[in-house]
Structure 1
Amino acid sequence: MKKVIMSKTAALIASLMIISMLVPVLAFAAPKFENVTITSNGTVTGQVYVTDDVYTPGMKVPVYVYASDNMTPVGGVVYGIYTANGHYSFTTTVPSVSYDTYYFMHYGSVTEKVYYTPFNGGGGGGFPGTGNSNYDDLFKDGKDATITADSDTVSIPADKLVDGNSLTIKNADGTSITLPIAALKLADQAKSLGVELKDLVIRVELKKLSGDAAKAVTDAVYEIGAETLAAPVDFKIVAVGNGKEQQINDLGTYFKRTLPVTGSVYSDNTVGVVYNPDTKELNFVPATFATENGITIATLNRTSTSIYTVIQTDAASFKDLAVHWSKKEVEALAGKLVVNGTGDNMFSPNRNITRAEFAALIVRALGLDATGTSSDFTDVTAGQWYSGAVATAAEAGIITGYVDGTFKPNATVSRSEMSAMISRALKYAGKDINLSATEVAAALAKFSDAGTLGWAKSYVATAVSEGLIKGQSANKLAGNSLATRAEAAAIVYRFLGNVGFIN
């Protein structure tokens, strides 16, 4: 669609706008409203996104505001200034009246509903998309609440959240997000934005991608020979106040989001993934699947907001695993994008695995971004393939290194070291296990070489008690033996099932 060419005369501009309002479907691409907020003084700000580049930068574009009672107009037409990239912004005010809903219209087409409620005894507050204009009783039935949204954007006053543990926001199609409220650090967000808590708003977005953004995800799925089973959704949490906003990305704790899944689901090859728009890559996300009333819902568990979808990969099969004891575990993890082969359809199960390789494997299994930067190990330098993963593992408390400040990334990991890392991963995943001396002894009682475990004794006992590691024989743990790729895959597979990250 070609851009509308601005005339040099005001009359022609007016004519074009009148015509466009009469025939919006013919003249303009369907718009959508984004980031609509209403402050305590009734100031409304927002953006309109137009899928086709149909305006000339600098052109004034109208937005209409109506109240809920039979579409009563309030405030008249508002003009936004088109900038570039399909966006234009607008600002208006709404009266502090008793309307509970405002409709924002663009060229005669209703595209957004914003629910209005007064708060703090005066002024207006807009909380889009929940169909609920009163949050005072949000946690009246307990510390964990659920609200149903009829929009992909929901804004909630922060002071209405402080009494709860979690809030789940869900849409009718099964898309949802569960906010761990303490992890939002609301007081810190308010301080950072220079407002009091009562003037802070938390905006939550569950937006299905469309256009080029959706195509980019689909292209990444096709690139690895997989099939998309769920529409990609961009989940965001944004703190808004004082005319500013800041996105809350990593909450430092796992929280859930759900996506409705289409098609058949095969547990080993159905994968929750996160899409990285910078690298154009897909990575494994801890996910479980359940079917209710004929609809399959994927529950994805991760510490960060981002773009998520569900895919179906091809069944993995490696030539050198045909009769190997680790076939089930390795091929399941390969189908989940957690492990890779070594080339030529081989896995090399009996090859040893390095400390850096196992740290990277755990980071991948936890669904973390291998982008850490705070590693203090003297022998881990920037630019190595493992640098980000090792730093992330260190930040998560999975690895600690040696007393001399080194990590020895290229040294082969021992079974004891592997047990220590996976035991710390249990804690990071929310399963903090502290065995007593008696429990440690009981877990290791049948192994004649338990006395050789030294510093790793309690870690190995934890891994044994949780069923993550088994002896190399009926009565030998072989903690000092070097671990193989097959053993590493098996322990990670058992870990994911143990903490409920796969089913």
Structure 2
Amino acid sequence: MKFSVLQKTAQTTVLMMLLSILMPVLAFAANGFTVTFNNGTVTGSVYSDVYSEVAPSVYAYDANGNQIGVATATYSVYADGVYKYNFTVTGLGVYDKIRLHGPVGTKFTGVNEAVYQTVYQTYDSDEGSSGGGGGGGGGGPSTNASETISVGTDGTVNAEQLKNSFEKYDTVILTLSGDTVTIPAQGLETFLSNDKKVLKISNDNGTYVLPLSALRLSDLASKLSTTVTDLKLKATIQAADEATAAAVSEAAQALGGTVLAKPVDFNLVGIGKDDETAAHDFGSTYVSRTLPLADEAKSFESTGVRYDPSTKKLSFVPTVFSGKEAVLKRNGNSWYAVVKLNKSFTDISGHWAQTNIELLANKLVVDGVTDTSFQPERSITRAEFAALVVRALGLEPSGSGTFKDVSASDWFAGVVGAAASAKLVDGYEDGTFRPNATINREELAAMVVRALDYAKAKPSVNADQQQALLAKFKDSGSIVWAKQELATAIEAGIIDGMTEDELGARSDATRAQSATMLKRLLERANFIN
């Protein structure tokens, strides 16, 4: 599971600190964590002297107690009298420390929520110190450190300098004096297959974080009829002019909201022969952009948004908040901002899903049936849920797919097309999608699991785990085709039973249930906190 962690800032050396407080679950039991937190990655193991066939989940919280991620640990080895379960969590973000907890309850008998550890991010120096004591010089720079390159007013970077920096460091930071930088792809092409190499581009407007493995430079060069060696990238981090800022403010006000971070254009294009340009396409890879905030934002009532100048509308962007920064995650370039909303509906007061519905309404993921009514217990159609999943993933509506019962004039054509393109939905054998049919919990779970897979947050569930996860439900035999998907959704914490022993796979899903599953999906993918 991916979640956000603070990347190191230039010219700062802080040695790694670990504060481990282990509390036994059983008398004299050995339980705890052995972890490191470096360069945006938490790696290690949770261990116990009690073996469990069910793999434990490890939960991560920020300093304010907000859950920011969860990962499934896998059994590794029995050594030194304990069973070790390994886990790794990677991501980009703004946390200098996190708190790890074992799973809540008795699902994993060896370690539960009483076992915890606070772990601090390691900051490596720009000179290459990897921490761990005060020894003198010698040895080359650590590859997990970073180097900062100041970009002059001409907005250019030398290819050889860039290549030399990436040979020594995992992260290279370009600090801009202006809004743009032109980057020779020749300085990057050697490292494109290395998923540890990250290019960060920063100015006063924000920070663009580009894993080199996410750069599809061959495709871009092909569009421009050139080679990667001759290709150049132009990155832009530009604050909006007065007209665009006013349009975003008006769009926010129309939704009952206010702007917390003014719009910034994050853009990446390729430059080929004769200065021809083509937009870079990240495919299904989410990349991060950091926007500074004037004041700390409350995640429940704040969201990152994308502004579409052609429609003058705002749409949800997966975003996590910490302090005075917002990290927006999306697989495309656009204008981005942060807005604050406080939405509710008269018919959800006291409802079990009220908080989940209000949260997703503030994130612009769910709408009311009217301005004041949500109708939480109403069933939901396949097209309506497809629209919600597309919004939750921050995807753009596109086309109408290949379903013969979806025409271009239908309101749902674009979202069904986007969902089909991302492999979130399937049609029926007769070539139809049946957009107006109500969706049952089995179908809903399958779509959510596909969304988890798209977000690279899907847990693995083997046959034995599947059987164990479904066995406690007396009606699991009624599942028609999605046993694997339902088991995965249960393991990911996305779906619960209707009761302790009844899953209700064939029951129609309600709007309240749909909102709740989407909220859990976004948390699992570390798309909200």
Equivalent residue, structure 1, for 2:263: 232
Look up the match of 1:190.
221
1:52-451 mapped onto 2 (5 Å cutoff): 112-115=153-156, 117=158, 134-164=161-191, 165=195, 166-173=197-204, 175-243=206-274, 244-291=276-323, 296-313=324-341, 315-343=342-370, 345-370=372-397, 372-373=398-399, 375-451=401-477
- What is the alpha-carbon distance in structure 2 between the residues aligned to residue 482 and residue 115 of structure 1? 57
Q: 1:414 to 1:102 in 2, by over 3 A?
A: closer
Change (3 A) 1:116 1:498: closer
Report the counterpart of residue 81 of structure 2 in structure 1.
Answer: none
Task: Give the stretch that moved more between structures: 484-493 or 318-327.
Answer: 318-327
Q: TM-score, normalised by structure 1?
A: 0.71
* d(CA) in 1 for partners of 2:399, 2:157: 43
8 Å CA contact 1:101–1:115 kept in 2: the answer is no
In structure 1, what is the equivalent of residue 91 of structure 2?
A: none
**CA distance 1:144–1:401, change in 2 (3 Å):** farther
**Deviation per CA, 1:261-288, whole angstroms, max 9, x where unpaired?**
1234121111100000111000010000
Please say if residues 419 and 459 of structure 1, whose CA atoms lie closer than 8 Å, have aligned partners that are also in contact. Answer: yes
Q: Name the counterpart of 1:84.
A: none
1:387–1:249: structure 2 CA closer, same or farther, 3 Å change rule?
same
Give the direction of change, closer, same or farther, for the CA distance of 1:185–1:264 in structure 2 (3 Å limit): closer
Listed one character per residue, the Cα deviations across residues 300-342 of structure 1 (whole Å, up to 9, x for unaligned) are 01111000000111x2222211121111111111111111112
The CA deviation at 1:249 is 4.3
Contact in 1 for aligned 2:458/2:492 (Cα 8 Å)? no
After superposition, what is the alpha-carbon deviation per residue over 1:352-403, rounded to whole angstroms, capped at 9, x for unaligned?
0001000100001111112x21511111111111010011001111101111
Is contact 1:168-1:176 (8 Å) kept?
no
Offset at residue 171 of structure 1 (A): 2.5
Q: C-alpha distance in 2, partners of 1:101/1:447? A: 60
Q: Quick one: percent identity of the two aligned structures?
A: 39
Counterparts of 2:422 and 2:173, CA distance in 1: 30
Give the greater-gyration-radius structure (CA): 1
CA deviation vs aligned residue, 1:192-250 (integer Å, no higher than 9, x gap):
32333222111111111113222222221222221111121111111112111112245
Does the 8 Å contact 1:183/1:252 carry over to 2? Answer: no
Higher relative contact order (CA 8 A, sep 6+): 2
Number of residue-to-residue matches in the alignment: 376
Partner Cα separation in structure 2 for residue 195 and residue 226 of structure 1: 45
Task: Specify the SS of the correspondent of 1:159.
Answer: helix
- Aligned pair 1:464/2:496, yes or no? no
Structure 2 unaligned segments of length 5 or more: list them. 1-148
Gaps of 5+ in 1: 1-99, 104-111, 120-132
Q: Is the 8 A contact 1:184 1:251 kept in 2?
A: no
The code of the aligned residue for 2:270 comes to A
Give 2:214's aligned amino acid. Answer: A
Q: CA deviation at 1:174?
A: 6.6
Q: Distance in 2 between matches of 1:102 and 1:499?
A: 34
- 1:102/1:474 CA distance change after superposition, 3 Å: closer
Q: How has the CA–CA distance of structure 1 residues 225 and 445 changed in structure 2, closer, same or farther, with 3 Å as cutoff?
A: same
Residue 330 of structure 1 contacts residue 490 of structure 1 at CA under 8 Å; is this kept in 2? yes
Deviates more, 1:320-329 or 1:357-366: 320-329
Partner Cα separation in structure 2 for residue 357 and residue 390 of structure 1: 9
Measure how far apart 1:433 and its partner are. Answer: 3.2
Measured in 2, the distance between the counterparts of 1:101 and 1:466 equals 43
